[in-house]
Structure 1
């Protein structure tokens, strides 16, 4: 039976060196895999592996807790890799440099064959290394340890000091990123063998080494072996805290060989399941954190599971991220009623259930991975709920509170998930897949649907129907057979009520051949059908025969090829998606024109659900709408549903403000309840504003908004914090800026002094402004303030105003017509201005925008985009997708890294007094006294847009899952 690490270490301390060979055999592949990941050279990795075991043998007596041998060995190997990088050890001479003149011909040929094989293997290794470089550092290490080190998730967890769930999550995300290349990675790394004599070489060397004895005053026996009795005796004897501190002192994992190395008997594990707040749960639901895995870029040395090198260590928060209750909003992927009468919705922020009093929604699960726009169809079979999300099929046996993946599924645009007794069907826009084992495995099932685009799907019992761009099909004996309805039309909607099937269709003439058009024309003449408008048909016999039930007196606006949606409950039918809405209460025999209601306007892919003959739900423009009067009126119904479309989070005094669903909303209770900020006109919507049109400067909240005369103005908050008031003396932005811009363009071509041209500019300006407002196109991209000078960014220009200016002035920053400015990439401090253009160029002005210089060539970092530019005092930080640049003078720049010299990708930066924090997909980082990033929080639940610090908490806005917060652990 294999001995444990504790038993082996006790044997070594008792003088049995052979026990150490068992430790070498057990961990040599793991250490070598880690070293190769950090060094990139297999031969050097072998040397470091030997050195790591030799150092471990020397210091084995100083290890306080033998249970932590794996993590201790990991730290030793990591330090040796860092030492190697610092020394820049030269690479060894390859065998290709070996002289071959003395070799015999046969030996020489064999040598060349071996060299070719080595070269091919090396090429494969290099290819694998390049593939792994695509992964975030934390995932690279896990993949390398798994395939090269042949370690299980449990072993990697113990080795790295990270929870098993985190390891499995990283491995799963890595496999997902490298789906096609994974077999080659597995084969290449799995085929690499360590020298057979590696253990023997290590044992020969330790025969000449004398282990370092344990330091005096520290017992050789592990702390746990003393038992609680020793602690009790010390306390009963009145031992002070100082005595107890001497009894078990902490020590550094980064210590050099001359210093005794010990491990504090306290594990730091980030993946802790904390108790959820009661308002987030139903029954015993546990809401855990989720990570999308997109763009996670940290080094292993930045992991909170490792002990930092600094003497003034930074504490790591072990609490989990808590999801804020609001603000409400966001799109809905699915609406589903379970067999137990529970109404569920799926959104990017989680799975929600209707409250018992039907007044709103409560979050019951946020662990299922979601995407912003992908559908998440649900189905139920034999009491089990099923759902498809991203590339996995999930199942729930407790009504949607907990979900478990039952296997991968094809990835693509999902339309519907259907369940029947003999099989499940995953309907996508171009293919259908079938599963006969309840969703564990899927096989292509397209027989009869060649060259068809799938648009809808439904089932009556075990009879499955799919709509296509060429009519309706029904599954018959393993083949899809076309039914006699809408043969040359696109099926937009299928709806089921009991055993009746309803079909909505629109013309599709542009895809028809001349022969098909002729046939279609003859059929429609014989049937008296309108070839240019939408139609609705009904079948009571599973599609064998059809009755046309299209409203006969459609409005002129609806005599057009609009996509239609059909909602049916009992005999009540709602037809939506057109200019007008229609309702029938007798199964389509007679119709009522409900008129036009923008709240009921939906797209072809919008989620819909009919609860009963009066209550219907639809997704309309990223809002869930409900009618309780059979379509007479519609109201937004999202109470309790966390919004996902958030941006520009700022903290001001006792409030949080964020741009949400074309509104600015504020919260005074840490994000649980939200109220809408009004502009001077009393309106709540800001559709013409870019989300970055809010900032805090000079202890004042500024925002771009419209005044009572519908002019774009610089505004500040009223005393109650809920109204934006234009600042007196600052001219309207749109008139000055747009006139300046259009006059410039027209003047360049026709002469700026011509009165006629100026009139053209005015008319064009007015037309463009009206068009922007009508289409909700952003007019201003961002705002920044320095003292009394205001800057506003338009897509291609930067304007400024300060007291004494009669109007807004163009700073003449020329970024090119193909580039745009973004609000997050504008930063000012005094007279210094930085602007990051979307072509990766960084512009600098030292005189408040009078003169500009492109300083991109001075930057010691290559990147693709700017994430954010901020000033902290006189120091500027430029966050990019490849790391953070900083400069105090603007002349000399450097890259901020972690303790292992790895770049940390930061999405947003915040400051608490003088302490700088940044957030990336791996969590919150703090700049320490050496200007190095150190991790201070668990991984974030999703990729992040904004970070602020408010009331001793970190608040983040994520791309897809709304707002989260976690306590700020002060480290000053």
Structure 2
């Protein structure tokens, strides 16, 4: 019943707030000192969350320690993630967060998902980034061993996304932008990435022929046709500028946003509405047996390629990714890995051997082996009925494998330092 009264705007009218392009409103209650927080840095914060009538919902000061958040890492709601960039130690902000910037991962009915919320955020500290294990690793022997491939990258960087095409591998660094791999010199080559792209928090990368596409959290899509010499923003047709995922299918580049699925034909600059929904995040896109599949906050949906006849094939789950191989569709929910062999008509659990109730980031197939990127490394299995086995020889023990791609038989992975939230465990 409280939620019915939560959207009163009385407080917003009584106080002077600054409104950003995303709809977030903020007011600085206390100035901070020292360096400013940047995308890719870990920070300690305290936060309170209330309805607009000042009904308190959460106060982190009741916890033993401040909350640790990776700035730009989508570990906090989008509104808090946005406001942390540029804050200084000791600074306190009050926020008015609209519903589209307060969505949470998983199934949450409290607070009400349509509520405008009040936040108060205090930046306690900016953590030192030295000796963090963020890195890129290659395996040329089907996961038996992993080799560090950090040459050419900054000493410490957070990799948002990996992309491949027929010629190369590309990665997206939150702080430094785009890199492509130079096989002749066995190192990464920096692609000039405009400052505005980095300021808008880069989240996803796609390589399509000679074009590089970068998706951001705050500014939509940017692309370059000349390896970074010039970048253009390409947002016409998009209903939402928070980019979750890219995927090439046929002659189209698909993009998942916080308001549905859109596509772009080769040599076009206007996005086409494929399946728009203002309340649905599209977190994963794949193709299987002539159909396009998407993993969303409202389940999994499918449509024949080239059509817009979408049907739900998995309910009662929030998906953060979806992928496929020649025999299976893999649905990555927030507490279980599922698979289907009949186009999504039925689903089975594929969690045996993986950490209990921890979600899988990515699933790919190489030869006869299937690989899963998890919170504590890489797992491999060779059939549906086998138990997953750890295949992390050469990887740091505290590396969460958030990205995984296949390039001409080489498995490419990247990750960041594992930060398990309260209640999480890597026990099988």
Q: Pick the TM interval, shorter chain.
A: 0.5 to 0.7
- Aligned residue for 2:272, secondary structure, equals strand
Q: Is structure 2 residue 286 aligned with structure 1 residue 495?
A: yes
Q: Is the 8 A contact 2:262 2:274 kept in 1?
A: yes
- Aligned residue for 1:616, secondary structure, equals strand
Q: Is structure 2 residue 395 aligned with structure 1 residue 641?
A: yes
Q: Is structure 2 residue 139 aligned with structure 1 residue 354?
A: yes
Higher helix share: 1
Using the alignment, how far apart are the partners of 2:155 and 2:165 within structure 1?
Answer: 19
Provide TM-score, normalisation by structure 2: 0.54
| Residues 461 and 541 of structure 1, relative CA distance in 2, 3 Å threshold | closer
Using the alignment, how far apart are the partners of 1:545 and 1:400 within structure 2?
Answer: 47
Q: Is structure 2 residue 298 aligned with structure 1 residue 538?
A: no
Partner of 1:392: 177
Unaligned runs of 5+ in 2: 1-33, 36-85, 87-127, 400-416
312, 315, 324: which one aligns with 1:568: 324
- Aligned residue for 1:586, secondary structure, equals coil
Shift of 1:435: 0.8
Alpha-carbon RMSD: 3.9
Q: Is structure 2 residue 345 aligned with structure 1 residue 589?
A: yes
203, 211, 220: which one aligns with 1:415: 203
Alignment size in residue pairs = 277
| Residues 398 and 599 of structure 1, relative CA distance in 2, 3 Å threshold | same
Shift of 1:487: 6.0
| Residues 472 and 621 of structure 1, relative CA distance in 2, 3 Å threshold | same
- Aligned residue for 1:396, secondary structure, equals strand
Shift of 1:496: 3.3
Shift of 1:471: 1.5
Using the alignment, how far apart are the partners of 2:398 and 2:349 within structure 1?
Answer: 35
Q: Is the 8 A contact 1:352 1:364 kept in 2?
A: yes
Partner of 1:368: 153
217, 227, 237: which one aligns with 1:448: 237
Partner of 1:469: 258
Q: Is the 8 A contact 1:625 1:635 kept in 2?
A: yes
Shift of 1:469: 2.0
Shift of 1:464: 1.1
Shift of 1:461: 4.0
| Residues 595 and 392 of structure 1, relative CA distance in 2, 3 Å threshold | closer
Q: Is the 8 A contact 1:575 1:583 kept in 2?
A: yes
Using the alignment, how far apart are the partners of 1:443 and 1:380 within structure 2?
Answer: 21
Q: Is the 8 A contact 1:364 1:400 kept in 2?
A: no
Shift of 1:638: 1.4
Q: Which has the larger radius of gyration?
A: 1
Deviation per residue, 1:412-460 (Å, 9 max, x gap)? 5433211223632111223210111134432211112254432222111
Deviation per residue, 1:51-76 (Å, 9 max, x gap)? xxxxxxxxxxxxxxxxxxxxxxxxxx
590, 595, 611: which one aligns with 2:365: 611
Partner of 1:628: 382
Using the alignment, how far apart are the partners of 2:289 and 2:171 within structure 1?
Answer: 23
Q: How does 1:266-305 map to 2 (within 5 A)?
A: none
Q: Is the 8 A contact 2:215 2:244 kept in 1?
A: no
Q: How does 1:12-51 map to 2 (within 5 A)?
A: none
| Residues 543 and 661 of structure 1, relative CA distance in 2, 3 Å threshold | same
Using the alignment, how far apart are the partners of 2:356 and 2:331 within structure 1?
Answer: 10
| Residues 352 and 498 of structure 1, relative CA distance in 2, 3 Å threshold | farther
Unaligned runs of 5+ in 1: 1-132, 135-179, 181-293, 297-322, 324-329, 331-346, 508-533, 552-558, 646-659, 663-686, 689-771, 777-972
Partner of 2:408: none
Q: Is the 8 A contact 1:581 1:596 kept in 2?
A: no
Q: Is structure 2 residue 271 aligned with structure 1 residue 480?
A: yes
Q: Is the 8 A contact 1:582 1:591 kept in 2?
A: yes
Q: How does 1:840-855 map to 2 (within 5 A)?
A: none
Using the alignment, how far apart are the partners of 1:600 and 1:442 within structure 2?
Answer: 43
Q: How does 1:88-167 map to 2 (within 5 A)?
A: none
| Residues 617 and 503 of structure 1, relative CA distance in 2, 3 Å threshold | same
Higher strand share: 2
Larger RCO (CA within 8 A; separation ≥ 6)? 2
| Residues 502 and 631 of structure 1, relative CA distance in 2, 3 Å threshold | farther
Partner of 1:693: none
